[in-house]
Chains A and B, each alone.
Chain A
């Protein structure tokens, strides 16, 4: 399987603090990776670098064969807009726009808003009937599904999720994980940053970070079995 993303000897230094320390990681196309670790281990820093929202202090980021670590912020913005869909723990929906408009915002800054496509994205996450509801009229799980629909709308090559179930109850957590399973089955690459073992253990591969270093990088042996059970 070809590589989608490669981090080569990435370090990120804030003063005396090494948030990431000589990290190497590769993600294949269509792969589902969970990045786990305790608070302060460097998960969010790694996510920001993978998501083109931050630059490493040293090292290379190669995305789809292209070294993007030295690109300007403007180029990085364009790159992450075209290639990456973001899912946040806090959802970050615009509260004066309804669900479908929140999805269309991502379209607007990518190309052209298309309500039909936005409704289809909401349908994929089971929320077409809630398209005209404002975020305040949706439950936490529904808001996160709108966030996922927004991440999907521009057909990204990678979905990057930061603690996607951190603010959800168990029922909604399962709904979100089922959506991730479906996306993985459709060939979408997923990188999920989490400290929740239950979320990490449903991924294909689990990478553990501690003090800015990768301490383990293992395939999840139960992954195929789980896929069978859920789907």
Chain B
């Protein structure tokens, strides 16, 4: 009888129920989309910021001390280096999978057509293999992903893995313009330790000082400077978690952390814990965060999450008000029927249960529709903003169900209060 009455309400009040389902669906869809994006946004923003370059730099320890003491870059007078053999250690740290790319960066000054030009030796798409304790680690890495904003005006990216026998280079647009250099030209550059002929693979525009530079392979630079297997600096791009109080505390001095705090910090991808682990792997190096990027990640993430929380809250508030109006008007329309049920002996609790069952079933149908709509919204946001799909979290489905039930119950409070005040004597007989 109970479900016969519920079914009867759906048959008779289907328009009202449809409106409630649509209201819930809209609220649930926005909540689903926002919560999924919010959970995935950390990684997405990190990935997005990774396209703006590295967020960790690794330099020899002595260089870091000088830099810290005098707040200057040491430039060409650098006398300490990191051994190239040690770079493979980056693949062995706890957070190795979070390191998306890294590249050694050696800069020097060379002579080109009797004028001095800055030349940078680095990896472009270098294939590296590293063997440690019988395990072979492999990675293709280089500045192709660390300089993703470069606009290639002529030619293409330097491909280290082709084996034509020539040595290649990429030339900044300003230098190319000044010297009349085009892709395919051969440059003769002279360093302090010898000369190299470099074939121009491409001309790039970076929008900064690099437009006056020549970028070539690390090995070519090392031959020009006579620093075989030595590295001045390594740029690392890592996916990190935004800093919080623990990270700030650890950044000051990890030894001040308690045992539990240390474990939590070490096992969280804070930029400071990644730097710490890099230093553990390469003791002669000093790793430090590029604070501007690390800070931006945290701030953008915090603000984006706050915005999405607000949107979710407002959408659910809107749904609650909508449900409240619809359910209350539904109870008003059915006042004679509900008063009759009281008149034939139904208790307030039984009638409340009947009405809430009808609304909850409607809301669950709306929530299911809303979840799928939310999935679509999340993918649209993912593709539009981050150019990638948003992974749907099972936890979000659970949260959305809980939120929808809460919204439904809260939205039904005015209707239930009205229902409790309903007097059969007033409704069925029309007063005294």
Instruction: Determine if A132 is an interface residue (Cβ-Cβ < 8 Å).
Output: no
| C-alpha gap A51/B344 in the complex (Å) | 11
A150 near B344 with CB under 8 A, answer yes
> How many Å from the CB of B2 to the closest CB on chain A?
7
Residues of chain B in range 150-206 having any CB-CB distance to chain A below 8 Å: none
Instruction: Determine if A106 is an interface residue (Cβ-Cβ < 8 Å).
Output: yes
> Of B336, B337, B347, B429, which contacts A162 at CB under 8 A?
B429
**Which of A27-35, A96-104, A175-183 lies at the binding interface?**
A96-104
B343 near A53 with CB under 8 A, answer yes
Instruction: Determine if A45 is an interface residue (Cβ-Cβ < 8 Å).
Output: yes
Residues of chain B in range 311-345 having any CB-CB distance to chain A below 8 Å: 336-337, 340-345
Instruction: Determine if B425 is an interface residue (Cβ-Cβ < 8 Å).
Output: yes
Q: Mark A73-113, 1 if CB is under 8 A from B, else 0.
A: 01001101110001010101011110001001110111001
Residues of B within 8 Å of A174, CB to CB, are: none
Residues of A within 8 Å of B8, CB to CB, are: 94, 96-97
B428 near A90 with CB under 8 A, answer yes
Given contacts A94-B340, A96-B11, contact A101 B428 (CB under 8 A): no
* Size category, A interface: 35 or more
> How many Å from the CB of A118 to the closest CB on chain B?
11
| C-alpha gap A96/B425 in the complex (Å) | 23
Given contacts A53-B343, A80-B345, A150-B344, contact A42 B432 (CB under 8 A): yes
A109 near B346 with CB under 8 A, answer yes
Residues of A within 8 Å of B429, CB to CB, are: 44, 47-48, 88, 162
> Of A74, A86, A96, A110, which contacts B9 at CB under 8 A?
A96
Residues of B within 8 Å of A45, CB to CB, are: 432
Q: Mark B408-432, 1 if CB is under 8 A from A, else 0.
A: 0000000000000001110011111
> Of A47, A105, A162, which contacts B341 at CB under 8 A?
A105
| C-alpha gap A136/B389 in the complex (Å) | 54
Residues of B within 8 Å of A80, CB to CB, are: 345
A94 near B337 with CB under 8 A, answer yes
> Of B9, B350, B431, which contacts A109 at CB under 8 A?
B350
| C-alpha gap A113/B5 in the complex (Å) | 13
Instruction: Determine if B72 is an interface residue (Cβ-Cβ < 8 Å).
Output: no
Given contacts A95-B12, A104-B1, A109-B345, contact A44 B340 (CB under 8 A): no
| C-alpha gap A54/B350 in the complex (Å) | 20
Closest-by-CB residue of B relative to A91 is B340
> Of A54, A88, A101, which contacts B4 at CB under 8 A?
A101
Other A-B pairs, 15, CB within 8 Å; known A48-B425, A97-B5, A110-B344: A14-B432, A47-B429, A48-B429, A53-B424, A53-B425, A77-B342, A77-B345, A96-B9, A97-B4, A105-B5, A105-B344, A109-B344, A109-B346, A109-B350, A154-B345
Interface residues of A (CB under 8 A from B): 12, 14, 17, 19, 40, 42, 44-45, 47-48, 51, 53-54, 74, 77-78, 80-82, 86, 88, 90, 92, 94-97, 101, 104-106, 108-110, 113, 150, 154, 162
23 contacts between A and B (CB under 8 A): A19-B432, A47-B429, A74-B348, A77-B345, A77-B347, A80-B345, A81-B345, A82-B345, A90-B428, A92-B336, A92-B340, A92-B343, A92-B428, A96-B11, A96-B12, A101-B1, A105-B1, A105-B5, A105-B344, A110-B344, A110-B345, A113-B1, A154-B345
